[in-house]
Amino acid sequence: MSLLSPEQIAATQKANLDTSQGLANTALEGFQKLVGLNLQAVKSMLFENQDTARNALSVKDPQELAVLQARLMQPAAEKIQSYSRQAFAIVAETQTEFAKVAEAQYEAYNRRVQALIDNLAQSAPVGSEATIAALKSTMTATDTFYETVQRTTRHAVEVTESNFNAAAAAASKATQQAVEQASRAAKK
């Protein structure tokens, strides 16, 4: 005897196909955003390199070249940090969408299993109460484990983002100090 009717199996397969298609679309959207970001970065870099080359060709002495290099260091570091933040945001957004789908799938699966356990409990022979209780206990433990994994994952993402922001701030400060130091040295 099958637990699911042919209609339920077809509906489940359709739902799984829809979910797979949604995940593929989410992945493609994230990829498209990353490609767009990369194209924007390359285009910007090409124009800036042309300007930098023009400026470097107009330099008359080594001291002037050092000043030019120092002046270009800070904006370059800021652009790298901006690119990194944008790429991180795209990846985090895509990961969040995947997590939402996974959570919805887990909750749907959990409801189906709970319904199955309830049906088994109603039609179980006398004396199988311990088995039903064990199944319910397993479901409770699984739910607790899933919630723990979700909290841990959210915390890991928050820590990663915080560490990234701290590293970016430290890099920005170090770059600023290096620029100031190079400017002072070039003026001497």
Task: Tell me which range, 87-91, 142-146, 152-156, is most confidently predicted by mean pLDDT.
Answer: 87-91
φ, ψ for residue 126 (rounded to 5)? -60, 135
Please give the DSSP secondary-structure letter assigned to residue 50.
H
Q: If you average pLDDT over residues 32-57, what whole number do you get?
A: 93
Residue, of 173 and 27, whose pLDDT is higher: 27
pLDDT at site 1: 41
Q: What is the pLDDT of residue 33?
A: 97
182 vs 151: CA distance, rounded Å: 46
> CA–CA separation, 56 vs 106, rounded Å?
59
**What is the per-residue pLDDT across 111-144, written as a single tens digit (0 to 9) for each?**
888 888 888 888 878 888 888 888 888 888 888 8
pTM exceeds 0.85 for this model: no
